[in-house]
Structure formats: C-alpha cells, structure tokens
Amino acid sequence: MALSEREQKLLEQMEQALYAEDPRFASRIRTQSASRSRRRLLIGVVGVLLGLGLVLLGVLNQQIWLGAVGFLAMVGVAVYGFAPARPADEQPAHRPAPKAKGDVLKRFERRWDKREGDQS
C-alpha cells in the first residue's frame, strides 16, 4: 500500500529528526543493512551452488538420499539468501537502546497528536 503525500512528508520529517538527533546511529543502520544484505546474497549463491553439487553427486552415485539432502539445502539456503532482510529495528537487540530514542518517539507522538487535532 502506497503512502499518501502527508504520510510521506511525515516520514521524511521523522527521518530528518533521527539524523539530527543521532547521525552516528542513523549512518550505522544504513551501513549495516547494506553489508547484511550483501552477505546474505553471497551466502545464498554459494549455498545454492553447494546444494546443486550435492544433487549432482547424489545422481551420479545413485544415492537418492544425498540428492534429497542437496535439494533441501539448496532450497533452505536460497530462501535465507534471497529473502529480504529484516529492517535493523526488527533485529534482536544486543545492547540496550539509548534513552534518546524514547525522547524522539515521544516528540513524534506529540506532533502526530497535534496534527490530528488540527485537522478535526
């Protein structure tokens, strides 16, 4: 579902506020997501090739179980490697979030409530 113009502007404002509030955090998220997706893609390609090798090895040696294992490995790694990565905010937390994040969210909520009240 596409965002309306108003929602897009609000999202842009939130993005700008995040960059203004904590530019280091914002740039780190952008860098991590790019490297994470490249790594997943590389794992996917290598895994599919290895799985295909197992399938061919199973066919050549007439061992159905080896071909089945290779096929399952191929499918599993392909799903992992080629599926879109979860956004960084959905990743499991390894350390506590900074307190400033809560302040930014509260400010956004106040702005949202204020705009909703102005339009009624």
Residue 49 counted as domain residue: yes
Number of domains in the chain: 1
Residue 61 counted as domain residue: yes
Q: What is the pLDDT of residues 14-36, one digit of tens each?
A: 878 877 887 777 777 666 666 67
Predicted structure pTM score? 0.46
Position 37, amino acid: S
Q: What is the pLDDT of residues 53-112, one digit of tens each?
A: 999 999 999 999 999 999 999 999 988 888 876 655 555 555 555 555 668 888 888 888
Residue 47 counted as domain residue: yes
* Helix pair 5-21, 23-60: axis angle to 10 deg: 110
Q: Which domain holds residue 46?
A: 38-82
d(CA 91, CA 18): 18
